[in-house]
Amino acid sequence: MPSLNSSLNLGQRALSLNQRAMQTVGHNIANQETEGFSRQEVHSGSSAPDPTGVGGGANAQPTSRVYDKFVQRKILQETPRSGMFKSRAEFLQKIEIIFSETEGNGLHQALNEFWNSWSQLSNKPESESARIQVREKSDVLARRFRSMHSQLDGLRKEINGRVSANINKVNELGRKVAELNRQISSYEGGKRLANDMRDARNLAIEELSELVDVNSFEDPNGRVTVIIGRDWTLTEGNNSYQLEGKMKGGELGMLRVDGVSINDNRRDLTRTFREGEMSEMLRMRDETIVAYQHNLDEIAFGLAGQVNKLHATGTGIKSAAASMKSTFGLNSSALNQPLPFLKDGIFQLHLVDTYDEIKETYEIEVQAGIDTLPDIVARLNQTINDPDLLQASIETDGSLLLQSGSDYKFIFGEDQSSLTQVLGLNSFFDTLKGAEDFQLSEHIRENTNNISTGKDLISGDNRVALEIIKLQTQATMRDETMTFDEYYNGVLTGMGLKIQRNQTEQAQQESMVRQFQEIRSSISAVNMDEELTDMMQYQKAYEASARFINTVDKMMETVINM
């Protein structure tokens, strides 16, 4: 037969159980707005009955989190893709602003104004105002190329800084997870559950998943191992292994991402991140933006090459030269190598007298892939055979110098070999790197009379100007399959389609993540109405337990007074 003492103990356990349940409700309500918090529940289990079969009441079980690890794992799998699309949208928008044509300050507008200025000059080749207009519009175009390239470079440097900041954030979250691993392992070693610490650890891993793709698993001691990218262990037990930004070889100022493990062992992880903000920023910096810079370079090189090809063999107003130095010099090694980009064919020089009449034409045979600059200089001097008429030499900086005698000047004629382009002789634009250093040639900036509009110094000749105008509608880009405008429009169209596709994919991905988060919230989030209902239930149960104890106490008093 159960004793009154056992009944008293049963009531005390019930009182303690409901008090603990009430405290858990209060803990849930207090943390309703705490990010990453999972509501907690107190479960009870029946105590073993006595030999007669009378129940022993209830015992409290450890307080547990209401948590679905499979939903959480799905969120960790999908969040990196969401972060990737978000980062891509941010930087594509910035690239779009650089290429924007909305306010009439874009490259397209500058190109149109450049062609229009040449059109006006072709109608009045002797007009000083028309020549000034060509110079100014050409300079605007050159500055637009350089500005856009510089802005894209600036965007790459901005991303570089963001990558560095993300490296620090990944390291911070890795250390936080390792420290929580230590605390959880220590706390749960006493047969307790570190519910709040586990929530904090999950939140840290979820924040990490926005930056990089994450895989994690828990060992029997409750410690989580976190793997980022393809196979880099960021956190293992109580240890975390840092990421470090190092300068990339061959490209000044661009960071690569190194993983640093025990004994300072390093591995380049730059290409191991598959998703998350970090992977997209690195892809933007090293691929997407560089591709747009190459597009600009291709237009710049194409435009300079086509315009210079026509301009070099033309003449301006009284533009016969007594001396001319090539724009591009060669170092000692390059002087002994065949000149690049030459074609087989002839290169013509016209000797002009003081009346601008052609007195002699010299034709120099050029062999592509064979002739060096010294070879061409020697052949020129051998062909002219009189330094008092015209002489070629190589300067100390590796450039070509053409110098006529005191009574003569010279102009260029037909150039099948592209020698004038390769060396930068009588060029209109100068560039070695493309859009980055695209500029008007110095002799054009100094004197607009040097702008070639015709040939053979004939007054009013506009043949070169007309040929340059035709370049606007000629298919000269991409193996002569498209015009400059068509090529640039293709770049803009491709950018627009990329932005549109990313917006669609981003919306779909964010919707998916949001649905999983809503499922998690329906399971784990604190619902105030439910907590208030539970609180009333536990209050009533606590009052009932107290009355039970009071009744047993009176029964004991009755027995004592018998």
Q: In the predicted model, is pLDDT for residue 518 greater than 60?
A: yes
For residues 337-357, give the mean pLDDT.
92
Cα–Cα distance measured from residue 499 to residue 491, given in angstroms and rounded to the nearest whole number = 12
- Alpha-helix runs per DSSP H in 99-127: 107-123
The pLDDT of residue 344 is 95
Q: In the predicted model, is pLDDT for residue 512 greater than 90?
A: yes
The pLDDT of residue 1 is 47
Higher pLDDT, 557 or 310: 310
Q: In the predicted model, is pLDDT for residue 252 greater than 80?
A: no
Which range is least confidently modeled, 357-371, 501-515, 542-556? 542-556
Higher pLDDT, 12 or 345: 345
Instruction: State which H helix or E strand residue 264 sits in.
Output: none
For residues 156-161, give the mean pLDDT.
94
For residues 12-41, give the mean pLDDT.
90
For residues 111-125, give the mean pLDDT.
96
Which range is least confidently modeled, 244-258, 338-352, 397-411, 545-559? 244-258
DSSP sequence for 497-539: HHHHHHHHHHHHHHHHHHHHHHHHHHHHS--HHHHHHHHHHHH
Sign of the Cα torsion 230, 232, 235, 241 reads negative
**CATH number, domain 322-425, options 3.30.70, 3.30.1600, 2.60.40, 3.10.20:** 2.60.40
pLDDT digits (tens, 9 = 90+) for 432-488: 899 999 999 999 999 999 999 998 888 889 999 999 999 999 999 999 999 999 999
In contact, 317 and 122? CB cutoff 8 Å:
no
**Direct distance between the N- and C-terminal alpha carbons of the chain, in angstroms, rounded to an integer:** 19
Tell me which DSSP letter residue 480 carries: T
Q: In the predicted model, is pLDDT for residue 2 greater than 80?
A: no
Cα–Cα distance measured from residue 345 to residue 370, given in angstroms and rounded to the nearest whole number = 13
Taking the CB of residue 539, how many other CB atoms lie within 10 A of it? 14
For residues 89-104, give the mean pLDDT.
90
Q: In the predicted model, is pLDDT for residue 300 greater than 60?
A: yes
pLDDT band at residue 250 under the 50/70/90 scheme: low
The mean pLDDT value of the chain amounts to 91
Length of the chain: 562
Strands of 56-107 (E only): list them. Answer: 58-60, 64-65
Sign of the Cα torsion 193, 195, 197, 199 reads positive
Q: Which of 493, 473, 494, 492 is nearest to 484 (CA)?
A: 473
For residues 279-290, give the mean pLDDT.
95
For residues 337-352, give the mean pLDDT.
93
In contact, 387 and 370? CB cutoff 8 Å:
no
- pTM for the complete prediction? 0.87
For residues 345-369, give the mean pLDDT.
92
Phi (first) and psi of residue 117, to 5 degrees: -65, -35
Cα–Cα distance measured from residue 83 to residue 273, given in angstroms and rounded to the nearest whole number = 12
The pLDDT of residue 385 is 92
Q: What percent of the chain has pLDDT over 90?
A: 70
Strands of 408-458 (E only): list them. Answer: 409-415, 429-430, 439-440
In contact, 78 and 28? CB cutoff 8 Å:
no
Cα–Cα distance measured from residue 516 to residue 521, given in angstroms and rounded to the nearest whole number = 9
* Angle at alpha carbon of residue 73, lines to 509 and 91, rounded to 5°: 35
The pLDDT of residue 105 is 80
Cα–Cα distance measured from residue 417 to residue 379, given in angstroms and rounded to the nearest whole number = 14
For residues 51-76, give the mean pLDDT.
82
User: How many Cα neighbours within 13 Å face the side chain of 406?
Assistant: 0
Q: In the predicted model, is pLDDT for residue 419 greater than 50?
A: yes
